[in-house]
Amino acid sequence: MRFTPSRWVLQDWIHNLHYLAQVSATLLAGRQLAQKPGLLSRVRDVLAGVLASAIEGRKLHGDLVPIDPPLAVRVDGHTVWYALDLDRPSATILVVEPVSDGATG
């Protein structure tokens, strides 16, 4: 028997790439992300998931999904401030700050 990938898996992968392409960064955030190798890729993955979830939440609950900027998420020891635009759909990384050593979480 020969293994072949499911057509559904391929469609989900292509669907996720669409959201990845819609994640951008301000000039300041781009500089901050460049200081740690691999951080941009990880942040894009996380924000693509957040964007996809927000879009699905909007479909289910309308405008009850709070997306007023700035929003924040912690990724690999950094707080990432971002804004979502569900009409485009896109995510914009605004600022990236390292979490201080005294912070918990």
Question: Across the 105 residues of the chain, what is the mean pLDDT of every consecutive 10-residue run?
Answer: 51 51 90 95 93 89 84 96 92 95 58
Structural domain boundaries enclosing 83: 11-98
Peptide bond into 66 cis (omega under 30): no
Q: Is residue 39 part of a domain?
A: yes
Q: Is residue 3 part of a domain?
A: no
Residue 34: how many other CB atoms lie within 10 Å: 12
Q: What is the pLDDT of residue 20?
A: 47
Give 99's DSSP letter: P
Q: Is residue 91 part of a domain?
A: yes
Cβ-contact 25, 93 below 8 angstroms = yes
Q: Is residue 2 part of a domain?
A: no
Q: What is the pLDDT of residue 55?
A: 87
Joined tokens for residue 50: 């957040």
